[in-house]
Structure 1
């Protein structure tokens, strides 16, 4: 299922590379506080072992190769600005995955995430997924707007769904299926 690189104008959704290590570390560091209320972490009783950036890249390549996910960087005008991923892919009768995304605070509100997410979801559908869902904290209005701009349907709540910012947080889930029409500016290929 390969190493996709998706491009629309100066926006590129692509795999992270080992040479991105310093730029990625700087981007993550600059956005640590911005992302803290929204980003899942391991609870204290089940810490995730530290991995090197090279190991991180290898695990992402493996996911793409096996078709279990498409973890990608968002690049704008040649600079890394965020992340979009379809993860937790289940094949068989389910054929679904979960969408996730985050963006550098300095680039928020420019339509970058809806465009990048539409590009990756379209890729996932082209690979054979039937359904993609996205879960977010109910108070994350920016993330809700992304899902709504892309025509995802509100499925409902998930109580105590992910460990975020020191506690188990409720989420709401939106989803869409590959047979739903994909219309609107975020789905349109650049012409």
Structure 2
């Protein structure tokens, strides 16, 4: 089991999720329905659930088994969103994925890229993971801006990859390996040393994502 720390940079912090977060989390999710619905993961076999306590317990169970790191994002001490490091694989792959959401009133304050950078640096520098992946819907321009700011490297288009908002959706895949950021993701961004071309998406992939997936 990995220890889940509290990590801070200026106004932004990420901390372990707790059961007592259930009510404020539910309130944020409901208040931000129109803002978040388009990007929410769903299940092809079950309706959307707002059982936040059950969700938190599941995230904590993944943490105990070493498969995840569930964080709350805070801005100036206020609950602002969530960030989850999930699918942690140890051994020969030593990799994980990051997903996140931020409440609309905190968007544009730099909290999301800061949170992603803090989590990625912790995974590389403290846990010894080698690769971090972030997958984003082509339509999610705000989230694409996050990986662009941080210099995550574009790796390709994944067709109908994740069930989002009621259907299977295409995603652009971005990743970093630890050797690319020896100075740390946060410091590289703060110092203005992010390679501008890293997150560039080929026009052919943009065009493919804009077309319907072929039927067979």
TM-score, normalised to structure 1, is: 0.89
Tell me the secondary structure at the aligned position of residue 87 of structure 1. strand
Tell me the secondary structure at the aligned position of residue 110 of structure 1. coil
Contact conserved, 1:134 with 1:175, CA < 8 A, in 2? yes
The answer for the alignment partner of 1:31 in structure 2 is 32
Q: How does 1:137-148 map to 2 (within 5 A)?
A: 137-148=137-148
> Is 1:185 aligned with 2:193?
no
Q: How many residues align?
A: 186
Report the CA distance shift for 1:55/1:80 in structure 2 as closer, same or farther (over 3 A): same
> Is 1:21 aligned with 2:22?
yes
Tell me the secondary structure at the aligned position of residue 88 of structure 2. strand
Q: Give the distance between the partners of 1:49 and 1:151, measured in 2 at CA.
A: 33
> Is 1:123 aligned with 2:128?
no
Tell me the secondary structure at the aligned position of residue 68 of structure 1. coil
Q: How does 1:98-109 map to 2 (within 5 A)?
A: 98-109=97-108
**Structure 2: where are the runs of 5+ without partners?**
193-216
Q: Give the distance between the partners of 2:65 and 2:115, measured in 1 at CA.
A: 22
The answer for the alignment partner of 2:8 in structure 1 is 7
| Root mean square deviation of aligned Cα | 2.1
The answer for the alignment partner of 2:41 in structure 1 is 40
Deviation for aligned residue 1:14 = 0.8
Tell me the secondary structure at the aligned position of residue 24 of structure 2. helix
Tell me the secondary structure at the aligned position of residue 39 of structure 2. coil
Structure with the larger helix share: 2
TM-score, normalised to structure 2, is: 0.79
Tell me the secondary structure at the aligned position of residue 37 of structure 1. helix
Q: Select the structure of larger CA radius of gyration.
A: 2
The answer for the alignment partner of 2:203 in structure 1 is none
Deviation for aligned residue 1:50 = 5.5
**Structure 1: where are the runs of 5+ without partners?**
none
